[in-house]
Amino acid sequence: MTLPLKDKLARGEVVTMINPDHPSSSLVEFIGTLGFDAIFIDCEHGMAGIERVQDMCRAARVSGAAAIVRPDANEPWLITRYLDAGANGVMVPHIDTAQAARDLVQAVRYARHSDYADKLVVAMVESERALGNLPEILGVDGIDVFFVGPGDLSNTLGMPGQRFHPKVRELVMQAGQRIVKSGKVAGTLVKRENAADYAEGGFRLLYEHANAFLREGAQAFRKSLPPG
């Protein structure tokens, strides 16, 4: 059985992925009912241990969303562990070279030899080095999405935290166009105000944080109250 979001990507449709920002299975289950395609479970910057990851993956599946885990690093044993915990795919950071991309594919194939085709494999290209090596990275078979990460890219450009700075945005858009032109699928981080722009730019995996929605909702609620 093919993962539904992989079918959507194959049809050229936009897939949405939300980071719950908190290691909570109940929050994952609730977010999954809101119509998003995937829940992103971050183990590079997040706090969830392996048992909590397993619970969050189960909660995502119950809600009808896929569970995509970002491992701490591009290490076969970590990738295997998270896939065994129930992840529907992995989004692996710091894929700076074609060899790193090949190692990622090999790790997933080794871990899930019986159902590899049903797993989403996302390679994060998020540095100037990765963008310089992009033609070779794109030549690696077995990767479903090439995700241009503006966070780490802004860091390597000497503009930490400025994910949507015009210079960062320009590089992200250029990389996305190169990915799409090669016949591959591009993904990136978005926010509500610019999600449509990135979709129009060819990106098909759009990623956002639940905390952004909480912040916007809280601000709107406070503004709706009378002064005093």
Long-range contacts for 158-164 (Cβ within 8 Å, ≥24 apart)?
163/189, 164/191, 164/194
Q: Which of 1, 5, 40 is nearest to 23 (CA)?
A: 40
Mean per-residue pLDDT for 160-164?
A: 90
Name residues whose C-beta falls within 8 Å of residue 93's C-beta, 6 or more positions apart in sequence.
44, 70, 71, 73, 74, 124, 126, 149, 152
Q: Is residue 101 part of a domain?
A: yes
- Note the pLDDT of residue 161: 86
Would you say 76 and 47 are in contact if contact means Cβ atoms under 8 Å apart? no
- Tens of pLDDT, residue by residue over 36-65, are 999 999 999 989 999 999 999 999 999 999
- The bridge status of strand 15-19 relative to strand 205-209 is parallel
The answer to the question of residue 7 being in a domain is: no
Determine, yes or no, domain membership for 75: yes
> 65: number of CA atoms within 13 Å, CB side?
30
Q: How many domains does the chain fold into?
A: 1
Share of the chain above pLDDT 70, in %: 100
Please, which pLDDT band fits residue 227 given cuts at 50, 70 and 90? confident
**58 is a domain residue:** yes
Residue 218 lies in a domain: no
Instruction: Please provide the average confidence, as pLDDT, over all residues in the chain.
Output: 95
Q: Distance of alpha carbon 70 from its chain centroid, rounded?
A: 8
Task: Give me the pLDDT at residue 209, please.
Answer: 97
**Would you say residue 88 lies in a domain?**
yes
What is the CATH number for 173? 3.20.20.60
pLDDT in tens, 61-109: 999 999 999 999 999 999 999 999 999 999 999 999 999 999 999 999 9
Residue 226 counted as domain residue: no
Beta-bridged to residue 68, according to DSSP, are 40, 89
pLDDT-derived band at 138, boundaries 50, 70, 90? very high
Given a cut of 60, whether residue 1 has pLDDT beyond it is no
When pLDDT is averaged across residues 147-170 and rounded to a whole number, the result is: 92
C-alpha distance from residue 220 to each of 19, 27, 152, 223, 227 (Å): 21, 21, 30, 5, 14
If 0-12 CB within 10 Å is exposed, 13-18 middle and 19+ buried, where does residue 198 land? buried
pLDDT of residue 2: 73
Domain of residue 109: give its range: 14-213
Residue 6 within any structural domain of the chain: no
Q: For residue range 6-33, list pLDDT tens digits in order.
A: 999 999 999 999 999 999 999 999 999 9
Active site amino acids: 45
Task: Please name the residue that has the structure tokens 């050229």.
Answer: 12
Give 86: exposed, middle or buried? Use CB within 10 Å, 0-12, 13-18, 19+.
Answer: middle
Quote the pLDDT of residue 6: 95
